[in-house]
Copies of this chain bind each other. A is one copy, B any other.
Amino acid sequence: MSKSTAGRFFEDFRVGQALKHATPRTVTAGDVALYTALVGARFALPSSDTFAAAIGYPRAPVDDLLVFHLVLGKTAPDIALNATADLGCANGRFLSAVYPGDTLTAASEIVGLRENADRRSGTVYVRTLGLRQDGAAVLDVVRWLTLPKRDARALILAAEKVPKLPEIVDPTGIGRACPPLNLDGYDLALSGSPHRFDDYAVGEAIDHRDGIAVDDAAQQMAARLYQHPARPQCDGRPMVAGAHVISLARALSCNGLANAFHIAAINGGRHMAPLFAGETVYAWSEVLAKAELPGRADVGALRLRTVATKQRPDANFSRQQGDTPATVLNLDYWALMPR
């Protein structure tokens, strides 16, 4: 038996299969600093213990997307080594806040399998739980990937299944990772924007204006920070990992959404076109919906679509504008804002 692994192929998965992933990770102030330096995050909450304490957190929580990437990074050796496409994710919910010093592990269940039309590959649906050292779930998300067959002649599986996934996470159940906020302590000068929940309207679009030239070294360091196994780069221009694109879009969105302090749920994320190192990425967002959270007068939820593009969005972008060849990411999520 070989001591090293070449990764699983499509026929290695079964519906209901449970996977406990390797490399538990104690998240530290070092990870937080590196994340800031790699993606350019500028939101006040994960940057500052005093801001966090003033609004009701015990101290600065770890950035939601850093948690997301660290948890999903653990699944890579078991699921994604041979994946040819990361097709999407749905029903992502942040369930508990994570603080420096907490240790994250990940466990997954295969919740669906479907052979592709080419019969040489299939789609694997994976539900992944991120867990804290005390057993609390911090993240629950389903994603699906294309995996080739090891043996193209492998038979069609008896038990194909495509899971039912909600198009939108029900907002009445989100926000558990956010403690009750003390709005008196929420300083809009320190957060960087005067705009609260009530200032945003459904249909409103926000040009985030800033752009960032993606450097290959930073995106490679990010992948190693998330402990993805090393993969030789393909020839040609290095392609930027999807995780990094999501973080860049979120970081850019601070200019216009600085008070969207917490991503409570991810309805869906789709990578529309590859982004290459050296290209410049911009972002704009649209308010798709607004929701009050049951029993909470402190925060409301904005359903946002944040779009990362390779071109500076012009002044006339809008929700009527469909995706263009310059669109690299469509991220649909619920973000909390103070009321």
Contacts and interface: CB of A to CB of B under 8 A. Distances in A.
Interface string A202-225: 001011111111011110111011
A218 B60 CA distance: 26
A300 to B, nearest CB: 16
Contacts of A26: 47-50, 60
A18 to B, nearest CB: 10
Contact of A30 (B32, B49, B77): B32
A146 interface: no
Interface stretch (A174-182, A252-260, A316-324): A252-260
A189 B20 contact: yes
A22 B212 contact: no
Nearest to A258: B22
A189 B22 contact: yes
A236 interface: no
A128 B48 CA distance: 20
B212 A48 contact: no
A336 interface: no
B190 A105 contact: yes
Contacts of A216: 215, 217
Contacts of A257: 3
Question: Quick one: copies of this chain in the complex?
Answer: 3
A297 interface: no
Contacts of A47: 23-26, 227
B222 A37 contact: yes
Given A24-B48, A29-B30, A229 B217 contact: no
A133 interface: yes
Interface in A42-78: 42-44, 47-51, 60, 77
Interface in A293-326: 312
B280 A50 contact: no
Nearest to A223: B40
Contacts of A213: 220, 232-233
A219 to B, nearest CB: 10
Contacts of A4: 206-209, 255-256
Given A24-B51, A256-B4, A232 B280 contact: yes
A312 B6 CA distance: 13
A113 interface: no
B30 A34 contact: yes
A193 interface: yes
Closest 7 CB pairs of A and B: A30-B33, A22-B192, A4-B256, A217-B217, A28-B29, A211-B232, A24-B48
Given A22-B42, A24-B51, A37-B38, 9 more contacts: A3-B200, A22-B44, A23-B191, A29-B29, A30-B32, A30-B34, A215-B220, A217-B217, A218-B220
Interface of A: 2-6, 20-26, 28-34, 36-44, 47-51, 60, 77, 100-101, 103, 105, 133, 189-193, 195, 199-200, 204, 206-213, 215-218, 220-222, 224-225, 227, 229-233, 251-252, 255-258, 280, 312
